[in-house]
Structure 1
């Protein structure tokens, strides 16, 4: 309906009719503070994100307007999701801005936002900056290798026994982790669960940038298979007090895949 979604359904629309908006696809439905929200891709192609609200889960709905207008996201389509986490609200959406991205090669981006006092959405524009951290990262527990703030080159794969792990590691690829809190001393050692069907390579841990100070260097041999895991340990090369970014940088022969990583841990 026009009141509910800015335009009637496709069969009822009049050619050359002028409407406030219209529902296209990709609904995201949830309840907050007694109100029901329905976010959706709107306006046809290219898509923007609009929303409607209701007092009941089955309507009637009231069209509320755009949340994310047409923007330079590098994608002709856009679908949204909203999550409240630790007192913060986050708006997830599509972007085609990663290398080789586009309308058929979309990735997920996120913006932090605050609801208006009456519970409605503000206008949210896409940025390239990401969202501020709300906590620090503990390096002294087992950390799954697929945990990352950024990466280049790598992929992840699932396995019914191992779970998800990092694969397709080549020379020069890396993983970055942000706000890693090493406390007031240490670490003494670094270990990782790794596997390689070839010659392996080296996993370097560097501080604050890809070519930063070398924290640890773990030599990874062939283990007999891409899922033949071995836990290897190496001494830490320096103390790291305080909070830093760390980079897991992969080195080895240029060309072939080097090794897989399941998890890592400082001790």
Structure 2
């Protein structure tokens, strides 16, 4: 009963203080920097436990390096709308940790016996390197209470926990090599001596182990620097402790040069997803990163198909909400580009700029449901006025609307009537009908 009352109280606090709802595609978190995402399915929701990048400065971490002082948790029931439940743990609340280190790096969270165990690395007071601690809660969004001591015999970063079908829990972490040990049923102590996981690449940095099981096969996945920056790789084995055999690459090196990548893999409603990060909101400084999601698929032999990062990401977008077409599914070869609305505040997002006739973008998976929408609203700027055409599904699809934009030097919302819209889920195809420059922020339907 006490736990239920606490859960209700926390939810009331969330409502009263207005923790952010974030509706977006890649990157999925737009109100702060986020990295190293561990996603977990608890009940009918996904809970996301990333690390939290902030900008380091004198007296606050190390300038020009990774700077992290706390952890947030986010949740979603549809992979599109994410709720930020606020800070669940701060470096000042951990007795054994250096409260001035700003090094709360990649975490994990797991559920067992009605409790939630949050594992995190941090530099201990008066010692070098990292230790791993545990904070415990009765709910996936906290409050998490850190244990008074770190886990004995665990020195390293990037803790990951896996619970096998027989109930045995395993802790993995990175310490140059990957280490593994069994956990006791209390989930805060080791039940076996740590051992090195063999048969993995010996050259180049490897970190961020994440283990999952599918059809009796255990997949050990991790970032690895084979060349200059990290890519996501994996090995396969018959048990949680191996032996593992290298199997391939999940995701190639970042096309925009983000030096790190860090990930997790989950199965949600019969579809597998890869959570990872890039430097979308900080293209010139890759120590401020942002979480992304893309779908993941397997070959018939159990190997993983390589994932290509996308802007569109996953999930359905509600037609009545702002549709960010800059997170496109497809884009024409010329005549259209994407840039920040405000380069001094990248959290304001992006805009799509048309500057040639017949330039286009396509945005997939918009959910119109069973509603009868009558109009479309577009937020845009066009100093000379512009004409856009909105179609369903493709360049040859039914025309929903022809949008005549007035001359303007400021953002304006223009509403036009639509016709020919069918219920259900559709792709949107937006094209320019002349060569006047048109900048589009978003569209939505009413």
Same fold per superposition (TM over 0.5):
yes
TM-aligned CA distance change 1:264 to 1:52, over 3 Å: same
Partner residue, 1:259: 438
* TM-score (norm: length of structure 2): 0.39
| In structure 1, distance between residues paired with 2:397 and 2:389 | 10
Partner residue, 2:317: 137
| In structure 2, distance between residues paired with 1:260 and 1:143 | 14
Partner residue, 2:339: 156
Q: How does 1:208-219 map onto structure 2 within 5 Å? A: 208-219=393-404
> How far is 1:231 from its partner?
0.6
Q: How does 1:66-85 map onto structure 2 within 5 Å? A: 66-69=246-249, 81-84=263-266
TM-aligned CA distance change 1:162 to 1:200, over 3 Å: farther
Partner residue, 1:207: 392
Structure number with greater CO (CA < 8 Å, separation at least 6) is 1
* TM-score (norm: length of structure 1): 0.61
Partner residue, 1:234: 416
Partner residue, 2:161: none
| In structure 1, distance between residues paired with 2:267 and 2:250 | 27
Q: How does 1:21-100 map onto structure 2 within 5 Å? A: 21-25=201-205, 27-30=207-210, 39-41=222-224, 43-44=226-227, 49-50=233-234, 64-69=244-249, 81-84=263-266, 86-87=268-269, 88-91=271-274
Query: Matched residue of 2:440: which SS?
Result: strand
> How far is 1:22 from its partner?
2.5
Query: Matched residue of 2:244: which SS?
Result: strand
> How far is 1:178 from its partner?
2.2
Partner residue, 1:177: 363
Partner residue, 1:222: 407
Contact 2:352-2:439 within 8 A present in 1 as well? yes
Query: Matched residue of 1:124: which SS?
Result: coil
> How far is 1:189 from its partner?
0.8
> How far is 1:79 from its partner?
5.6
Specify which of 241, 250, 257 is matched with residue 432 of structure 2.
Answer: 250
Contact 2:206-2:224 within 8 A present in 1 as well? yes
> How far is 1:245 from its partner?
1.6
TM-aligned CA distance change 1:83 to 1:260, over 3 Å: farther
Is 2:290 the counterpart of 1:112? no
Query: What is the aligned residue count?
Result: 219
Deviations 1:83-119 (A, max 9, x none): 437444323689xxxxxxxxxxxxx9945247xxxxx
Partner residue, 1:126: 306
> How far is 1:135 from its partner?
5.1
| In structure 2, distance between residues paired with 1:259 and 1:21 | 50
TM-aligned CA distance change 1:89 to 1:142, over 3 Å: same
| In structure 2, distance between residues paired with 1:221 and 1:193 | 11
Query: Matched residue of 1:144: which SS?
Result: coil
Contact 1:137-1:180 within 8 A present in 2 as well? yes
TM-aligned CA distance change 1:202 to 1:187, over 3 Å: same
Contact 1:51-1:66 within 8 A present in 2 as well? yes
Contact 2:319-2:367 within 8 A present in 1 as well? yes
Contact 1:49-1:78 within 8 A present in 2 as well? no
> How far is 1:202 from its partner?
1.7
> How far is 1:248 from its partner?
1.6
Contact 2:341-2:351 within 8 A present in 1 as well? no
Q: Which runs of 5+ in 1 are unaligned?
A: 7-19, 54-60, 95-107, 115-121
| C-alpha RMSD over aligned residues | 4.7
TM-aligned CA distance change 1:50 to 1:127, over 3 Å: closer
Contact 2:360-2:432 within 8 A present in 1 as well? yes
